[in-house]
Chains A and B, each alone.
Chain A
Amino acid sequence: MNFDRNVEKGRFPQRWWEDERLKTVQTMDKGEKHLVPFLAPKIYPLEPLDKPFDETELESRFVSAFARVLAQHRQLKVYMESCVKCGACVNACHTYQGTGELRNIPVMRADLLRRYYKKYFTTQGAILGPIVGAERVTFEGLKEMYYYFYQCSQCRRCSYYCPMGIDTAEITRYGREILVQCGFVSQFHWSVLTSMWKTGNHMVITKPGLMDTVEFLEEELKEETGVDIKIPVDDWDAELLYNPSSADFFAYPDTMMGVAKVMHAAGIRWTISSDIIETGNFGLFLHENTMRMLNKRLIDQTFKMKNCREVVLGECAHGWRTWKMMTKTINGEWVDKRFHYIHLVHKLIELIDNGIIKVDPSRYEGMRVTLHDSCNNARAGGLIEEPRYVLSKILPEGSFVEMTPNREMNWCCGGGAGILWDDPESINLRIKLSKNKAEQYKSVNPDIAVVICSIGKAHNTFIVHDGYKKELDHVKIKGLVDLVGDAIVDFPFPAGKYAKS
């Protein structure tokens, strides 16, 4: 979707949402159109944008979108009215500690939206105005909101610090949704969202491209293991549908290959669906309709599969959260009756515990392995002890080390919520955001860091190989199933693959 950003001021059509040049995304709600009249070229630093409409219209659009979101989500209304500004969340946020900007304190960030809530939806704001911190919607204010809301990685760590239990991630999610309605959205996020609508994955992988990649991976597997391991695509008689993360085909092929090895060793007839090779769901971060669409897209695949009773979700943390917590709500409870969906980690536990695949811990002799609890896995998805259990099975005694703090209080790496900008300008910001995580890595000094999250892999790779290269360049970022696949005893692996160089 290419929008003409350089429309001269005044030349922009007044009723731009009816202009055919500006394509719209037709969502599931009849007649409701989500429009992006212009896109921010870069999220950091924020460049001045073309004004799409005057502030009166901006205000009315903002307020109507806000009212719609408020009417459907209780948490937002309760959070808007319950904050007492005690300051308990100051030390919760890695973004604030990395950047040092006061607006990045969770409560200050939430106040960017709360000031408008007070102005348009509360009695005290209408009467007392600035005394209670109420403000009118302005273009500058929305730009500020955009700038700081897209620095929140929605890791939910602040909700563990807040005495009220206010979850700033919810506030930024719906704040972003409102901003989308007003035309504020980053190029990266929106391109990902549109590619989801088109192809069902983030990477715009079409079926021919997928087949090509799969062939290449099969050759790699043949070289590595000496066994013919297939990665079946669109095999509708399979009994298990695996839903990978699309980054596994390019950036982290080890994960895809690890899954193939595990499934081959277990003798399961499995498949991936070319229509949706994406567990992740950027709709969770800023656009609920996209979240629903992508979720439904996977459910539709299971109707083609008569023998399928199990959908295994790949290594993607926010995708797991979406599936575990939201599927029933956004697509109806019958989903559960049709099949059950489990995380790859659950499947691995099942296979290892029942002795279906045999693993050899001695392959990792002398390695220091640590586990990074991805925010959406640990805090929002409940996968806390399961990965540790799998690691205890495949690692020798004493090679697993914990970071501090760990489990649900783990520091976010700073790459959540799709803040994974690849533009060179944002490198300094990314380094700042990952300061706490890097310090954790330095104190533990692992050889392998296990990250069960696609975005986490990307961002942690950035941390150890770019941002903090001096101290951390020797760290390998791996998925959990990579390690499991390499520990399987059935294949003749070249010895010493994981020996320290």
Chain B
Amino acid sequence: MDWFSFLVGNVLSYLAIVVFFVGVPLQVYRWMKIPVVYPLTDFPAPRTAEGAFIKVLLDAFLFRPILLKIYNSIVYTGKWTDLWLGGWIFHVSFALIVIGHIVGIGTLGHQFTILGVSPETSLHMSELLGTISGVFLSLSLIYLLLRRFFNPIVRVMSDGIDYLVVLLILGISCMGNFMRFNSTYGVEYDVAQKWIIGLFTLHPVPLPDNPIFTWHLFLVEILLIYFPFSKLMHSCGIFFARWMITNYDPRKVMVFDWRSKVCEWKGGK
């Protein structure tokens, strides 16, 4: 067990878990303790909180604002559908991958047995789904990266970090795909499960001797550590921002007392 494997497997992993699972709620708490002193609604708005909730979910998960604004594309930044397709495929496959890692490692790939199939079939289904999502993830990321670089307008508005984050996730997904397609470097479910159980029971198990896996894990930990400090917080911010411009209850507002600097909910029920 060389030093890098030890660092990734038993030191940085703890740091990443702590930073991610403490940092993200802390950032959200920092937003929540600041008052929203007046409604910022974009009309026409849903009349009820339930309607607003549904609309926020639809907007957030279907990327409707991009999808519906296809007209007026006077300035060419790629067709809007292209941005929508690239972004949406990336996010969906990323979500599938994350869920797949948790469920697959948790159940050793037998998650589909609840559908009534045999464990072998479940394993195959799991592999198939993971492979498809991984390939789509890499392709959509490459597309988004190229779009960011070759589209003059999007290139102007990008900072260095925007490329770096995409490259980071691209590196993670490409290594994952490599391990999937190359049986020499493949990692079985039970090995990963053992390592994670060791991690959480504070009896760390050394990582398998697999440089690709180690680097894959290292980049994931970098991503987790960077997550709360970056624009990746848009995953939480989107719900805040969309809720602010969707919800409108004229009877219930937050009243900000400018003298005592105290903000409280007034009116309504």
Contact = CB atoms under 8 A, between A and B. Distances in A.
B233 interface: yes
Nearest to A128: B161
A73 B37 contact: yes
A111 B151 CA distance: 19
Contacts of A91: 69, 72-75, 77
Interface of A: 28-29, 70-75, 77-79, 81-88, 90-92, 96-97, 102, 105, 107-108, 111, 122-124, 128, 130-133, 156, 159-167, 170, 292, 324-326, 328-330, 332-333, 336, 378-382, 384, 405, 407-408
Interface stretch (B130-138, B184-192, B193-201, B251-259): B251-259
Contact of B254 (A92, A292, A329): A329
Given A87-B83, A405-B71, A78 B254 contact: no
A132 B160 contact: yes
B203 interface: no
A88 B153 contact: no
Contacts of B238: 82, 163-165
B154 A380 contact: no
Contacts of B148: 85
B159 A379 contact: no
B255 to A, nearest CB: 6
Contact of B39 (A78, A111, A166, A325): A325
B30 interface: yes
Main secondary structure of the interface of A (DSSP, over half): helix
Contact of B255 (A70, A163, A333): A333
Given A74-B240, A87-B157, A164-B237, A159 B42 contact: yes
B116 interface: no
Nearest to A76: B34
A416 B29 CA distance: 35
B35 A72 contact: yes
Nearest to A407: B44
Contacts of B245: 159, 165, 167
B120 interface: no
A160 B74 contact: no
B82 to A, nearest CB: 11
Given A122-B229, A133-B161, A105 B153 contact: yes
B255 A332 contact: yes
A160 B43 CA distance: 10
6 contacts: A85-B162, A90-B153, A108-B156, A156-B42, A159-B245, A160-B42
B234 interface: yes
A130 B156 CA distance: 15
Given A167-B40, A329-B37, A382-B43, A162 B30 contact: no
Given A170-B40, A325-B41, 9 more contacts: A77-B34, A78-B237, A92-B69, A108-B157, A124-B230, A131-B159, A165-B59, A329-B38, A407-B44
B65 A81 contact: no
B157 A333 contact: no
Contacts of A332: 255, 257
A165 B72 CA distance: 19
User: Which 5 pairs across A and B sit closest by C-beta, in order of nearness?
Assistant: A82-B237, A133-B159, A382-B43, A74-B34, A165-B242
B31 A77 contact: yes
Contacts of B32: 74
A352 B253 CA distance: 32
B22 to A, nearest CB: 14
A81 B34 contact: no
Given A82-B233, A159-B42, A333 B267 contact: yes
A97 B74 CA distance: 8
